[in-house]
Amino acid sequence: MSVFSVRDRRMLREMLADVTRPVGVLAYAEDSQRPAVEDLMGELARLTRGPLSAQVLNDDHDGALIRAIGFQRTPSFAFVNAHGEIAPVEMVGLPTGYQFGAFLNMLLVLNRGRLNLSHAVQGALKNAGRDVRLEVVVAATCPNCPGVVRLVQQCALANPARIRAVSIDAIQHPDLAGPGVEAVPLTRIWVEGRMAGEHTGLMSEQQLYQLIQGALKGVRWRDRTIGQH
């Protein structure tokens, strides 16, 4: 049985037709999760005519790769760029609902090979001299979440050596989302393993950049804005 409706399959086939470079997805799942994850990955492989790869990793055979990527929870998804390098992006939780859009967008960005960030922001992010983790807590039913996820993912791609972007499905992984999550998207910024602050709601590229810069300078904050779900 197909994961997608006939209409969705047609739309996805058209979108995936733009994938012309050898990008890919790596999934990590427990035995009980593998059927759903394998269905998703198999459907992606069938819908593309290009060199898109979709692989479900196995502890018995892929332990070294799983550790190298840094997978800690299941199901989780990582991405491979056209040069065969693991992108500094992880999606924790099966990408359903609105989150599937962010999942698909990541493949298209890697295929395109360029970011939708201003040159000024890209240049500044490349100069980040400390390790940064951009973490977004999301929900599949949240229409505002994919935009923030796409934004942090592109920030990570601007400096793969220093910045990592992780999205966490709050329903599938409430322990990772943490206590007291009242609304999503909830963005947390960690610097060298310490949380510098969190922001609830939508963000512009410039807002996120300013928060990252502040975190790198040791500024701590906690705020809430409109646009949350």
Number of domains in the chain: 2
| Per-10-residue mean pLDDT, the chain, length 229 | 75 85 94 93 84 91 93 94 96 94 94 92 91 96 96 96 96 89 93 92 93 85 53
66: CATH: 3.40.30.10
Q: What pLDDT is attached to residue 6?
A: 83
Nearest to 105, CA basis, from 121, 93, 89, 122: 89
Q: Is residue 229 part of a domain?
A: no
For residues 21 and 73, state if they share a domain. Answer: yes
Q: Which residue, of 71, 87, 103, is where some domain finishes?
A: 87
For residues 218 and 162, state if they share a domain. Answer: yes
Q: Which residue, of 68, 87, 106, is where some domain finishes?
A: 87
For residues 58 and 141, state if they share a domain. Answer: no
Q: What pLDDT is attached to residue 227?
A: 42
For residues 74 and 141, state if they share a domain. Answer: no
List the domain range (segments joined by +) for residue 53.
Answer: 6-87
Say how far apart CA 98 and CA 102 lie, in whole Å.
7
Nearest to 104, CA basis, from 174, 169, 59, 47: 47
For residues 139 and 206, state if they share a domain. Answer: yes
3-state secondary structure of 92: strand
For residues 60 and 147, state if they share a domain. Answer: no
Q: Is residue 205 part of a domain?
A: yes
Q: Is residue 103 part of a domain?
A: no
For residues 125 and 219, state if they share a domain. Answer: yes
DSSP for 21-52?
S--EEEEE--TTTHHHHHHHHHHHHHH-SSS-
For residues 126 and 201, state if they share a domain. Answer: yes
Q: What pLDDT is attached to residue 24?
A: 94
Q: Which residue, of 43, 71, 87, is where some domain finishes?
A: 87
Q: What pLDDT is attached to residue 3?
A: 72
Beta strands in the chain (DSSP E): 24-28, 53-57, 76-80, 86-92, 132-138, 163-169, 186-191, 194-200, 221-224
Burial 168-187 (b: 16+ CB within 10 A, else e): bbbebbeebbbeeeebbbbb
For residues 124 and 213, state if they share a domain. Answer: yes
Q: Is residue 59 part of a domain?
A: yes
For residues 126 and 65, state if they share a domain. Answer: no
Q: Is residue 131 part of a domain?
A: yes
Nearest to 169, CA basis, from 210, 208, 191, 140: 140
Say how far apart CA 94 and CA 35 lie, in whole Å.
12
Give the type of residue at 74: T
For residues 195 and 133, state if they share a domain. Answer: yes
- First-last CA distance in the chain: 32
Q: Is residue 96 part of a domain?
A: no
For residues 168 and 78, state if they share a domain. Answer: no
Give the type of residue at 189: I
Q: What pLDDT is attached to residue 12?
A: 85
- Which run of H or E residues covers position 211? helix 205-216
